[in-house]
Amino acid sequence: MSETDRFPGWHGTTIVAVRKGGRVAVVGDGQVSVGQTVMKGTARKVRRLSPGGSDVVCGFAGSTADAFTLLERLEAKLEASPGQLARACVDLAKDWRTDKYLRNLEAMLIVTDGSDLFIVTGAGDVLEPEHDIAAVGSGGNFALAAARALMDQDMDAEAIARRALGIAADICVYTNGNAVVEVIG
């Protein structure tokens, strides 16, 4: 039995972050699917960390256990370099890419402290997204396109992110409308 036979295509979760008006809203849905079956509709994949007393909001797509491992590592990096989100993200990405164990983790992170906004990947990427919008996950591209279209509207960051997730949920079968929201800044 191959690995893909035992663990068929896991899909699910759309995370979108929008920075506007000095605030960043990170919104995620709660869907986890295995193949064509929704296993859970209320997973919480947007979290607030407070390492060293500084608030950081993270959203993740991919394996939940893998993401929690990465969040623990990120928290340790932030405690070692308080207030230096970019440095902590770069250090995490370096470890993630070079460590034999971490290299196998399957997740993507959106991380913000209210001023900086990054997408962190296992390929060693620490990306500052263009247009003050970041999106990852199964419906990430749908949410990204929707948020970009809404940015010039008279809406705040949270309203744009919520609406973008709703649009992604209408299009992507691996995304639902059970929004979890964290706002920072």
Structure tokens at 178: 């059970």
**25 and 150 Cβ atoms separated by less than 8 Å:** no
Q: SS3 of 74, please? A: helix
User: Which residues lie below 8 Å from residue 67, measured CB to CB, with a gap of 6+?
Assistant: 45, 60, 61, 105, 107, 109
13, 14, 64, 175: the active-site residue: 13
Active-site residue, 13 included: yes
Please give the Cα distance from 53 to 33 (Å, whole number).
Answer: 35
**What is the distance between the terminal CA atoms of the chain, rounded to a whole angstrom?**
49
The residues annotated as belonging to the active site are 13
